[in-house]
Structure 1
Amino acid sequence: MIWSDRPAGPEEFVLPRPLAVIVERRWPILACLAAGVAIAAVGYLDQPSRYGAEAVLALDMRKFQALPTESVVSPLPQESPVLRTEVDIISSRSMAERVLTQLQAAGIDAAKGFGLTAENAVGHAGSSARANRVSVDRRVLLDSLISGVRVTNDGRSYTIYVAFSGMEPEFTAAVANAYAEAYINYQVDVQTSATRRVSDWLGTRLVSLRSELERSEHAATSFREKSGIAKSNGTTLLSQQIAGLNAELARLRAQLAGLVARLATAVDVSDGQSGLAIPEVLNSPAIQQLRTEEARLKRLLAAISESGAVKNPQIPDLTSQLGTIQTQIGAEVEQIVDSLRTEIEVARRQQTGLEASLKQLQAEMSNANEAIVQADQLDREASANRAIYESYLTRYKQTIEQDGIAMAEARIISRAVPSGSPSSPNAAAWLIGGLVFGLAGGALATLLLELRAGFLRRPDPREISAGIPVIGRIPELSAPQRAGVADLIRHSREPFAHAIADMQGRLRLSARPGNVLVIAVTSAAASEGKTLVSSCLARSLAATGLRTLLLDANPASPGIAGEFGAQPLRTMECVCTRENVEFRELVRHDGPSGIDLICAGMAKVPAEHILGHDGFARLLSALRGAYDVVIVDSTAISNGSGALLVSALVDRTILVVPEGAEREDTTRAIRRFGRARIAIDGLVVNCAPRSILEGRNVASLAADHPGSSLETRKRVEMSTDLPTFVGL
């Protein structure tokens, strides 16, 4: 079975890989940490003490207004970009110039506060030392102010924090307060200068507007006088005359209509068709007296007629008087009618005269229309100039009143005070920085060392191009390490041991539980490390408690016997020459590793005759029933079809590819397997140089390096306690 229940010994304990790397590379990491702390200590001691001070400003949301007039400069919008702009203004060079001027006016020596002298100020200027010394000193002071100030806003309020750091606490607080006061004065100056510029411009503009207004009014008046279309109460005299004639003509026509009506009534009275209906008849004194006398006579005649005295002598006399009176009444009415006719004639003549005068005025009006239009245009131009002049005059007076009452839109809510302790350098920050720098350097050094050792797992181009996974990468070994590879596999801190363990773990995970795993290890050409991979893989599997057998199936160039220092009496070729060979005649046991070996000798026949023999297939079948894992060290693919014959009988085939090998060689080997319809289950990249692999077995390496662990390891034990296997 693949899975073994035997617990691993204490020597097989393996640390987690990150912890193992840290323990292995502890000295470079500690060296980098020490260097980082030392650099931090030197930097901390080299830094001069600096003090910090902070003044706090607040932008006012309320607008002070002394006069009910619109201000020249609008208030600041309370928006985030506006606040950022104000922060930039405070941090600007122009504000630094204001602060420097204010400090000099207050008698504060800025150069002394910054620790600058005339000599180092000039030296600090560098290439500008030939310029004026005063300007150089001022530029250095301005640079120091700009580099020391820090203006911030938290983005949630209208508060601006002005912080300054320097080497003297009193000077630092004075500079921070000077920045706050300079910003307040800057806002006042902005409003004052804007108000004065507007008032000056308005005053200059009013002079030209006054001249323009006088010119337009004089032109309008002169034109009306020359054209004779002077106005009275907003209308021309000609229009007033026409209006008066129209009113008089209308009145006369109404009077004429009344006279015509009275005349008709009077004619009817004279013809006896109606009574005394017209006012002239009713109001005439003569007609009233005649009517009274007529009424008296009619009453007398009525009284005589009622008395029955029809022959009364007064009747004829009374009748004669009554006729005379009626004749007189008719004459009076006729005179009234003639008077009405005369009045009608007079009214008609007046109407004719008025109509003629109206026509004449209308003719004159049509001739004066063009002059009136031009005069109205001049009047409108003068009115527009007057309106503009009055608006400018009003705004000018308002601006003059605003001069001198400018108010800043910010106030100082907290003044800076001298600090009692320095704000920098910070020992904890320097120490943390040194530790972080040291850890980063240690991590970088560890990474570079691990990359150099070839431990890092990265995608292999062979895996990408061939579509076959890389299941292992064997790190490069030195000659002493190659000599002690048996002990190296069990060392928990060696990348080589982890690489072999990772490879055998992948192979075990790919097998089904309960099945025997038979693995063939081959390579594209000879001396590419397949024997090293086979032997190390067998040692790692045996260390997990699995029953492991290593079979040398490379009769053309056997290497297992030399790898383990074995001197077998019988080799694998016996399966092709004798019948009923027992396993104890072929198997040899390696005591230090716990591996069973079947070695091969140098064959006198082609390897395909042995590997393709039926006895070899029966040998593998018998080994499946006796072991958990069988590792077959196959022939190289370039040596013929032996590798294909072996791979056709096993469960997994591993192709060993040396680091730096030509891709064409690997691709050619994979194609041969593909044409034979045999799959390669994984690639193992061997980073060991070919000089260590060619013709150098364990015994020769031990001779070259007598201090290696090979001298102390036990020789191959020819155990006689092996079980008896079924013969072939």
Structure 2
Amino acid sequence: MDVPLNFNRQNSARFEREVSVDSVTVSDLVEQLSGFVRRQFPIFVFITSCCLALGLVYLFTTPPSFTSHAMLLIDSSKLRVLQQQQAPIGDIPIDTSYVETQVEILKSENIGLSVVKDLKLAEDSEFVGSGSGLIGWIKGLFSSFNVQPETKSDRVALGSFLAKRSVTRVARTYVLDIGFTSLNAARSADIANAIADAYIVDQLQSKYQATRRASSWLQDRIKELRQQASDADRAVLDYKQKNNIVSVGGSSDNPRLLGEQQIEEMNTQLGTARAAAEEAKARLERIDSVLKKDDAKDVPDATVTDTLHSEVINRLRNNYLDLAAKESIWSQRYGANHLAAVNLRTQMTEIRRSILDELGRIAQGYKSDYEIAKSRADGLEKNLEALVASSQVINRDRLGLSDLESTAKVYHTLYDSFLQRYMEAIQQESFPITEARVISAAAPPERKSGPLTLPVLGIAGFIGIMLSFGAAVLREAIDQVFRTSRQVESALQVNCLAVLPRLGPATGSTWLANGPAAWLGSGSSIVRSKPVAEKPERELENAGLSKVSDLITSVLSREATKNASIAPRHAAINKRLDFTNRPFLRQVVDEPLSGFAEAFRSIKIAADIGGSNRNHKVIGITSTIPGEGKSTVAANLAELIAHSGKKVILLDGDLRNPTLTRAMMPDSKAGILEVLNGTMTLDDAVCLDEQTGLNFVPGPLKSRLVHTNEVLASDSLKSLIDDLRQKYDYIIIDLPPLAPVVDVRATTKIVDSYIYVVEWGQTRKNLVQSQLLAAPELYDLLLGVVLNKADIRVMGRYEDYYGSYYDKKYYGRYGYSG
């Protein structure tokens, strides 16, 4: 994981703006994705190709399969012919859940096992064998060839059968699609039709079995209900007999008892008798009123019903009226006192008396009738009261009878209902009709259904892309090294000054580590100088040398003793630098139009531009670990600046491992230590490159120091650097790596800027970050980072413009070589 670092002073303002303003945009995501694909493109190609190859192998080794389809319709209209109740007009829609239930029934093992047994699929190698093709061959390697029992072979065949069968509902209709895939086209059609037939037979059998079970249960239940109804009827009769309850009619739901009928009849007779008595009483009262208001001068009022029908009264009344008429005539003619008129009036009185006698006789008859009617009504009333009293007792007994009759009625209703259902179930057993029917039988297909080339290759390609993507992500996760300038700037928050391409198989740090023989080969005439025996570091530590000057004097005295030919001093130093056998150290001079040289120019420009803010005359070159090519970078940078006409001096400041001195002055006898000690002047120690004018001060080649950090932090070195500042435009110091020793941190007082060399694709990010975090004083003076030994061809996968930048197509337009 990257460790964030604080910005150095030079670039802090720029990075603060970038961090605050910069955000992940779509273009950034596209660029990152394209870079990811470019970097891991070989992984994508390899894994996807392998998966496609496996897909092709599968296509070539797998035999073709054929799929047939049978269409089944779920229709409940057929059952309406069997229903006793009146069916509504129109079709009744089937519930969706019912159709889904039928789909699950078709998918059940019961249907599958029926087809397996009917078609004897357990004996077919397609269903019980390991299968054909590549997958079948692989399965056959791990399967046993033992003879399996019949039950187990059926289960194995059933498993293979269910894997090749498909049942789906066609959209939102009531049609079910039954499909089956087989290696034989005709076989697939036969099995698909067999599935439909097995489903219909299963439906018939299930209905028949359900009807049989229902009939058996209904028959037993009917027997129980018949016995219960009979017991209930017997209980009703026993109760009636015990309580003298006699039914004389009525409906079965409401039977009439004898007492109720007698009361009703008696009540009717009583009403009739009371009406007759009232009528007789009215006639009697009427005739009595007539007799009471009789006037001697008038004819009696005979407006009574019986008088109107009496012949005696009618005759007497007629005579009376005749005499009255004659009396009126005689009285008018002869006077009222005439004898004849008096006789007529006497006759009229006799007739009137006769009429009254007749009315009295009729009144006596009315009185007799009234008394008879009243006597009859009173008798009926007494009889009715006796019947009502007797009926109340019977009604109390009838309460228990109602319960018994209700129970008997319920048992009879249940008995009739179950008997009707039993008769319907018996009839339905003989109707072979189901809700489903085949509307399209399966036919042998003309084309294969699998394996299909495009889908198989598509799936293989998709799997390959997914696997390659996972492998690529894993590679990205474990690739914690620097490969692009963006990674450097993101992880270290410093400028990436340049990306230097790899020069060759035996260049840079490889030569510096192994000497000229590594560059020239075994036949080279230049041989690496063998260093003299060195004193162990422990001995130097115990020497008791506390001052740097004493340390330098001690080392030089020991070397002078061993090499007596060192005087005069300037004669022991090779004053000329020879790069004939070491071209990589001045690659920028030998090939000034190469991309390698152009990268060093960008480093120099960065130092020149940074000079407006800070003096960059003294530049230290360091790295994290040995072998990253810092010495090569230091030499080429010094050669480039010197070749441009500037006065440049290159110091080998790696006192423990002076790689530049071994490469450029392997025969040197003295160097920077002698200058610091005062035993040699700077002019005597400096070596010259005549072509570029570069001055070089070698390091201690014959001995190794322990307290090199004290030497680099000494006032003598600081004074030397101050003198060099007055004479030279640039001072390049090749410093030791940061991780093994602490020498670099001791140079922060004399060095203006540091250039940090990181080997491309090798040095881990966390190592560089941890070293820079441990040296904040160095980080503040960091001019930038140089990515060294980059494989430009591979870098095109990380950032596409690198490939075109170093390509002659663009770079050659300005006269540059590769």
Q: What TM-score, normalized by structure 2, do the two folds share?
A: 0.58
Q: Is residue 188–residue 407 contact of structure 1 (8 Å, CA) maintained in 2?
A: yes
Cα distance change on mapping 1:633 and 1:226 into 2, 3 Å = same
Matched with 1:245 is 266
Q: 1:166 deviation in Å?
A: 3.6
Cα distance change on mapping 1:279 and 1:606 into 2, 3 Å = same
Matched with 2:230 is 214
Q: Is residue 538–residue 550 contact of structure 1 (8 Å, CA) maintained in 2?
A: no
What SS does structure 1 have at the residue aligned with 2:77?
coil
Q: Is residue 164–residue 181 contact of structure 2 (8 Å, CA) maintained in 1?
A: yes
Identity %: 20
Q: Is residue 482–residue 765 contact of structure 2 (8 Å, CA) maintained in 1?
A: no
Q: Match for 2:69: what amino acid?
A: A
Matched with 1:483 is 510
Matched with 2:119 is 103
Confirm or deny that 1:299 pairs with 2:325.
yes
Q: 1:165 deviation in Å?
A: 3.5
Confirm or deny that 1:312 pairs with 2:338.
yes
Alignment deviations for residues 338-368 of structure 1 (CA, whole Å, 9 cap, x no partner):
3333333223322322222222112112211
Q: Match for 1:607: what amino acid?
A: A
Q: Is residue 56–residue 414 contact of structure 1 (8 Å, CA) maintained in 2?
A: yes
Q: 1:77 deviation in Å?
A: 7.4
What SS does structure 2 have at the residue aligned with 1:411?
strand
Matched with 2:798 is none
Q: Match for 1:287: what amino acid?
A: I
The counterpart of 1:66, out of the listed 70, 75, 81, is: 81
The counterpart of 1:163, out of the listed 162, 166, 179, is: 179
Q: 1:376 deviation in Å?
A: 1.8
Q: Match for 1:193: what amino acid?
A: Q
Q: Is residue 522–residue 655 contact of structure 1 (8 Å, CA) maintained in 2?
A: no
Q: Is residue 74–residue 99 contact of structure 2 (8 Å, CA) maintained in 1?
A: no
The counterpart of 1:52, out of the listed 66, 87, 90, is: 66
Q: Match for 2:114: what amino acid?
A: R
The counterpart of 2:413, out of the listed 387, 395, 414, is: 387
Matched with 1:562 is 660
CA distance in 2, matches of 1:36, 1:542: 53
Q: Is residue 658–residue 687 contact of structure 1 (8 Å, CA) maintained in 2?
A: no
Q: 1:440 deviation in Å?
A: 6.7
Cα distance change on mapping 1:570 and 1:162 into 2, 3 Å = same
Alignment deviations for residues 180-237 of structure 1 (CA, whole Å, 9 cap, x no partner):
2212222232333333333333333222222222222232233223322222223212
Q: Is residue 709–residue 742 contact of structure 2 (8 Å, CA) maintained in 1?
A: no
How many residue pairs end up in the alignment?
621
CA distance in 2, matches of 1:219, 1:125: 79
What SS does structure 1 have at the residue aligned with 2:434?
coil
CA distance in 1, matches of 2:648, 2:767: 27
The counterpart of 1:195, out of the listed 186, 198, 211, is: 211
Cα distance change on mapping 1:168 and 1:110 into 2, 3 Å = farther
Q: Is residue 331–residue 338 contact of structure 2 (8 Å, CA) maintained in 1?
A: no
Matched with 2:106 is 90
Cα distance change on mapping 1:252 and 1:191 into 2, 3 Å = same
Q: Match for 1:96: what amino acid?
A: G
Matched with 1:267 is 288
The counterpart of 2:278, out of the listed 243, 247, 257, is: 257
Q: 1:396 deviation in Å?
A: 2.7
The counterpart of 1:226, out of the listed 242, 256, 281, is: 242
Q: Is residue 522–residue 635 contact of structure 1 (8 Å, CA) maintained in 2?
A: no
What SS does structure 2 have at the residue aligned with 1:386?
helix
Alignment of 1:274-353 (within 5 A): 275-353=301-379
What SS does structure 2 have at the residue aligned with 1:211?
helix
Q: Match for 1:58: what amino acid?
A: L
Matched with 1:607 is 713
Q: Match for 1:66: what amino acid?
A: V
Matched with 2:427 is 401
Q: Is residue 202–residue 396 contact of structure 1 (8 Å, CA) maintained in 2?
A: yes
Confirm or deny that 1:378 pairs with 2:404.
yes
In angstroms, what is the RMSD of aligned CA positions? 6.4
Q: 1:54 deviation in Å?
A: 0.8
Q: What TM-score, normalized by structure 1, do the two folds share?
A: 0.64
Cα distance change on mapping 1:457 and 1:664 into 2, 3 Å = closer
Alignment of 1:364-375 (within 5 A): 364-375=390-401
CA distance in 2, matches of 1:512, 1:407: 99
Gaps of 5+ in 2: 1-10, 12-33, 130-139, 295-299, 513-582, 588-594, 700-707, 791-818
What SS does structure 2 have at the residue aligned with 1:66?
helix
CA distance in 2, matches of 1:514, 1:79: 87
CA distance in 2, matches of 1:225, 1:254: 39
Matched with 2:297 is none
Q: Is residue 203–residue 396 contact of structure 1 (8 Å, CA) maintained in 2?
A: yes
Alignment of 1:591-602 (within 5 A): none
CA distance in 2, matches of 1:682, 1:213: 111
Q: 1:313 deviation in Å?
A: 2.1
Cα distance change on mapping 1:276 and 1:471 into 2, 3 Å = farther
Gaps of 5+ in 1: 3-15, 118-122, 491-497, 689-728
Q: 1:269 deviation in Å?
A: 0.5
What SS does structure 1 have at the residue aligned with 2:228?
helix
Cα distance change on mapping 1:343 and 1:20 into 2, 3 Å = closer
What SS does structure 2 have at the residue aligned with 1:200?
helix
